[in-house]
Amino acid sequence: MNAPGRWIRGCALLMCLCAVSAAWAKPHRYRTDPDHNPYPLAAVAYATVVDGELLWSRNLDAPHAPASLTKLLTALVLLDSHWDPDAILTVSRDAAHTTPSRVGLHTGDRVSAQDALKAMLMHSANDACLVLVENNSPSLAAFAARMNARAAELGMHDSHFVHPCGYDEPGQYSTANDLLRLARAAYADPRIADIVSQRQGSITADSGRRIRRLSFRSTNHLFGEMPGIMGMKTGYTAHAGRCLIAVAEQSGHRVWLVLLDSQKRWWMAHHMLVAAFAAAARGATPRLAGSPQHIGGT
């Protein structure tokens, strides 16, 4: 190939690469198709919502293991059950030796319900989760039945829960749409909203012989990485993959993001949140574009 031909071919290749880069760097304008998916590699299923309206999505109503995103529903059920934040709960052997992640409770430790709730929501601690559930219900199955009843009240009609801590169990599933409904309902409770907005916390464990103060950090790595992050919950199991629900607010716009089984959870979340706020700022969101598609309840 002569020099001009090589130059033309090189320019064409460069233009293609620029077009691909621009497609990822700039948020796509909202369209009315039900599965508008400008980020096909973001996650197996996802939803991005700006000011209550769907912006982008993939496999919105496909069933998927919810991992520890389940704990938001567990928290709602606990808080609806004559909640006493000062109640002192005893840690069982099952709770102390459950599957990680754990905050480090020992068999026989006594902890406050409020401390355990913080550890469950911020650090996704399964030992704290089981302490709360065991002291609230005669069995995990009985508690799961209450979870499913509460999910039905929220309109989560494509979900079913078996284990309150989000372990992989046959018959445990949800969808991006249903989990968005759950997240918005949970965040509407100021007790949950306050906890998930914190970056670090601690739990006091009294063994009767000595008192230990166990410090932990939020599993939400978006804190400190971009302005406006308000929470909310992470999750991971072998079956579910890496999952995330995030909520952020900038310049009067609120963005919700649900990622289910995302290979690059934090990079994608940051990128999609920035793009969603950019779309809102220039009026390319569903409500402003005049083609609303409501999602995830009110």
**Catalytic residue positions, numbered:** 68, 71, 124
Classify each residue of 107-132 as buried b or exposed e, where b means 16 or more C-beta atoms within 10 Å of its C-beta.
eebbbbbbbbbbbbbbbbbbbbbbbb
Identify the three-state secondary structure at position 124.
Answer: coil
- The Cα 126–Cα 139 span in angstroms is 16
- The Cα 63–Cα 160 span in angstroms is 10
Judge if the upstream peptide bond of residue 101 is cis by omega within 30 degrees of 0. yes
Residue 141 has a CB neighbour count (10 Å cut-off) of 10
- The Cα 89–Cα 82 span in angstroms is 15
CA dihedral 165, 166, 171, 176 (to 10 degrees): 140
How many Cα neighbours within 13 Å face the side chain of 282? 11
Q: What angle do CA 177, 189, 255 make, to 5 degrees?
A: 45
DSSP string across 46-113:
EEEEETTEEEEEESTT--B--GGGGHHHHHHHHHTTT--TT-EEEPPHHHHTSSSP-----TT-EEEH
- Cβ burial, residue 152 (10 Å; 0-12/13-18/19+): exposed
Identify the three-state secondary structure at position 29.
Answer: coil
Element (H, E) at 229: strand 229-237
Kindly report the backbone phi and psi dihedral angles of residue 283, in degrees, each rounded to the nearest multiple of 5, phi listed first: 80, 20
